[in-house]
Amino acid sequence: MTRSADGADGRDADRPVRRASRRGVVAVGVAGLLAGCLVTSEEGGSTPRQTENGTTGGSDANDGGGSDGDETGSDGDGGGSDGGAEEATPDEVNPDGSGLVVTDATVRDVTQGGGWTRVRARLTVENAGRFEYGTIEFRADAYAVPRGSDEREAVGFASVTRRFPRDDRFGGTRSRSFEVTIRFETGGTPVRPDAERYAVDAAVRRAEPL
């Protein structure tokens, strides 16, 4: 009786224990798979948070790596309340996106003296962007154009900065004109000092809104 109890009864008693162990292995495997999903869903260096129902929070890329979706502006449905933050005036605007365009560059005169040649030009600039500017910087390049040739020879350049007061900031209501002088050594070109024999190109290099 003792062997029978230790045999059949003992084996029957061991079976539930082995089934429970297999369920335990399956449960551990599922937990491992879930943990693997959380790791592979990581983007941009942020770690997703796991809620009580097993889903991950903080999936928005712009939630600051820890802000909840119900904070202002994090879920994108805050209406116009976030417009002020998004439309805040930057300290500087990329020249390509500033909307500032040099529409004309006219050589006014060319003079020589003291071993230098000076090309004076007038630049006309329009503001087609959405900001009003307090400081803008140009680069103006001068070219000599030999008579009977269409080729231009670069002879010098100048960087020019212009600042505007707050009561006369550079907006889009009207174009502005700027005078620029480009100086280079007279021996740099054989072209004589004639306004018709020189040309100037200019472009915006820096733009700071007010």
**Contact between 89 and 118 (Cβ < 8 Å):** no
pLDDT of residue 58: 45
pLDDT of residue 87: 67
Separation of alpha carbons 21 and 14, rounded Å? 11
pLDDT of residue 150: 87
What torsion, rounded to 10 degrees, do the Cα atoms 17, 19, 23, 26 define? 120
pLDDT of residue 156: 97
Separation of alpha carbons 183 and 114, rounded Å? 11
Q: DSSP letters along 39-108, please?
A: HHT-BTTBPPEE-TTSPEE---TTSTTT--TTSTTTSS--GGGGHHHHTPPPS-B-GGGS-EEEEEEEEE
**Measured CA distances, 148 to 12, 61, 110, 126, 194 (Å):** 111, 61, 19, 33, 14
pLDDT of residue 88: 86
Helix or strand holding residue 77 (H, E): none
Residue 104 has φ and ψ, to the nearest 5°, of -160, 140
Question: Which amino acid, one-letter code, is at 125?
Answer: V
Per-residue pLDDT of the chain (210 residues; tens, 9 = 90+): 545 444 445 455 455 544 444 444 444 444 444 444 333 333 444 444 444 444 444 444 444 444 444 444 444 444 444 544 456 889 999 999 999 999 999 999 999 999 999 999 999 999 999 999 999 999 999 999 999 998 999 999 999 999 999 999 999 999 999 999 999 999 999 999 999 999 999 999 999 999
pLDDT of residue 86: 59
What torsion, rounded to 10 degrees, do the Cα atoms 148, 151, 154, 160 define? 90
